[in-house]
Amino acid sequence: MTVIDANRMHEIETRYPEYFHRSFRQRFGGLMVVIVTLLYSLYAVWFFDLPKLFAEAHWERVGIYLSQWVSYDVQPEFRIEGDGSIDIRYPRFSPLGDNPHPDWLVNNPDGSITVSISGTSRSVTVSKSETIVTAHGVSVPVEVSSGAPKVVGPVPGWMTVYDDNVLADLGFAGNVSISVDRVKIRKRFIGWANFIFDTQSSFFDKPVGEVVSLIVSGLRIKPDQSNLSLAFDDIWNNSEWQHGDVWTKLFQTIVMAFLGTLLGALTAFPLAFMAARNITPNRLLNQVLKRFFDFLRSVDMLIWALFLTRAFGPGPLAGSGAIFLTETGSLGKLYSEGLENIDNKPREGVRSTGASNMLVHRYGIMPQIVPVFVSQTLYQWESNVRGATIIGAVGAGGIGLKLWEAMRTNANWENVAYMVILILIVVFLFDAASNALRHRLMGTKTH
């Protein structure tokens, strides 16, 4: 065991003061960061009143919206006429078409009608005097012959009685609203109704094999048009899903992002040479251009889109202009900083040969910056594909506007899901292509 005397200890402390005489920041810096973070979190909880926000949030809507993303419903209405007959009606734009005869609706010999909501476990039988709702292993009769509907027997937890109607919640499968003279049923199906052909199409509700047979070798449905062309027109002009309009708007979004980024890059490139201190030794010009870049990028793309839609009206031009202004500022700053960090030795070597400034830039600077500039531009283009969707919602055109219109109706959430999936696919493809190009330019391998 080695014993260190006082002189040796003093010598060690003098040689390594950073270990034995640590400052207050070094000793308590980590603890102070934790305390400040905790205090700020508590302040944020108080400032935004998060407990009240979470307590008053409509969490049930999350499930409703998500279910509507992946499903559709059919809403038949059964009206009990004065003579005891039952009249079946469907909404004007029912997914089943104008004259539906679904197999889940059965006319019974006694004049009643049975609707299968989810197999045999959940069903509704409508007659002139009562409606029987079967769910969760029990059948609950509801009398409708008096002035108000009346539940016979105990009321189950999944059924709610109001003054003039009774509501039965059958979960994801749907629900039933019962009043004296009518019964409204909402039956839910997994999937997207009429995604290929709408109810107005000649191919609507036909089996896949029959559709393929008609397209390949069937007689022409319309004498002046082939069945293949007719099928494409019906898909493209689907009135419910509007595939043609959605894909056109998606292409507009991609073009907006490409055009805005390209124009921003072309404008920022020469300005960056004038803003870089080591390229243009004019301090006033350097500072003016750098503050100009700061101004352009400090105003968000969404704000530029609002300004330009007021100036030029809604449309892709405003969207492209917003991206152009934002990218001129962002790329100008990135380009100028890249130029200020280049290695001056290749540049001085080319200049020593007596070459002109143009040749010095071409052979001393460009080989160093082109891969970096292209990589940065590709990343901005990929990011702007997402940004173009957002600014479209304020009137700048593209699929963002279409998406906002579908969300505002609060009823077409399956259309919202369709467009969101398309946007995700496009962003994924552009991200993959951009990464591949950047790695190729930078000479690195992808994993």
pLDDT at 447: 52
Low-confidence winner among 137-141, 321-325, 435-439 (lowest mean pLDDT): 435-439
Nearest to 243 by CA among 200, 207, 201, 196: 196
Q: Are 380 and 390 in contact (CB under 8 A)?
A: no
370 assigned to some structural domain: yes
**Residues 6 or more apart from 230 whose CB is under 8 A from it?**
202, 221, 222
369 assigned to some structural domain: yes
Nearest to 327 by CA among 283, 375, 267, 279: 267
289 assigned to some structural domain: yes
Q: Residues 362-370: what's their mean pLDDT?
A: 79
**Given a cut of 80, is residue 139 above it in pLDDT?**
yes
pLDDT at 59: 81
Q: Do 255 and 360 reside in the same domain of the chain?
A: yes
Distances (CA, A) of 439 to 257, 375, 376, 436, 443: 21, 8, 12, 5, 6
**Given a cut of 80, is residue 363 above it in pLDDT?**
no
pLDDT at 445: 57
Higher pLDDT, 318 or 21: 318
Count of Cβ atoms closer than 10 Å to residue 363 Cβ: 16
DSSP string, 408-442: HTTS-HHHHHHHHHHHHHHHHHHHHHHHHHHHHHH
Nearest to 76 by CA among 64, 87, 94, 89: 89
Q: Are 146 and 180 in contact (CB under 8 A)?
A: yes
Q: Do 80 and 152 reside in the same domain of the chain?
A: yes
Low-confidence winner among 26-30, 69-73, 182-186 (lowest mean pLDDT): 26-30
- The model's pLDDT over 212-231, given as tens digits with 9 standing for 90+, comes to 998 888 888 888 888 899 99
* Tokens at 63, concatenated: 């499930």
380 assigned to some structural domain: yes
pLDDT at 37: 93
What sign for the dihedral angle of Cα 343, 346, 352, 358? Answer: negative
Q: Do 319 and 354 reside in the same domain of the chain?
A: yes
Residue that is last in its domain, among 190, 224, 253? 190
Q: Residues 244-266: what's their mean pLDDT?
A: 92
**Residues 6 or more apart from 143 whose CB is under 8 A from it?**
129, 130, 149, 150, 152
pLDDT at 188: 92
220 assigned to some structural domain: no
Quote the CA–CA distance of 105 and 123 in Å, as a whole number.
10
**Given a cut of 80, is residue 14 above it in pLDDT?**
no
Q: Do 402 and 277 reside in the same domain of the chain?
A: yes
Q: Do 37 and 116 reside in the same domain of the chain?
A: no
Q: Do 171 and 23 reside in the same domain of the chain?
A: no
Q: Do 32 and 79 reside in the same domain of the chain?
A: no
pLDDT at 262: 93
pLDDT at 430: 84
Q: Do 352 and 285 reside in the same domain of the chain?
A: yes
Domains: count for the chain: 3
pLDDT band at 340 (very low <50, low <70, confident <90, very high): confident
pLDDT at 96: 87
Q: Do 280 and 367 reside in the same domain of the chain?
A: yes
pTM of the full predicted structure? 0.79
Quote the CA–CA distance of 173 and 339 in Å, as a whole number.
62
213 assigned to some structural domain: no
Q: Do 134 and 259 reside in the same domain of the chain?
A: no
64 assigned to some structural domain: no
Report the SS3 class of residue 266. helix
Please measure the distance between the N-terminal and C-terminal CA atoms of the chain and give it in whole angstroms.
Answer: 53
**Given a cut of 60, is residue 1 above it in pLDDT?**
no
Q: Do 109 and 30 reside in the same domain of the chain?
A: no
Nearest to 317 by CA among 308, 325, 306: 308
* Domain extent at residue 86: 73-190
Q: Do 343 and 405 reside in the same domain of the chain?
A: yes
Give me the amino acid identity at 392: G
Residue corresponding to tokens 């997402």 = 386
pLDDT at 42: 93
Higher pLDDT, 344 or 80: 80
Quote the CA–CA distance of 228 and 218 in Å, as a whole number.
10
61 assigned to some structural domain: no
For the chain, give the mean pLDDT.
Answer: 86
Question: What's 298's domain CATH number?
Answer: 1.10.3720.10
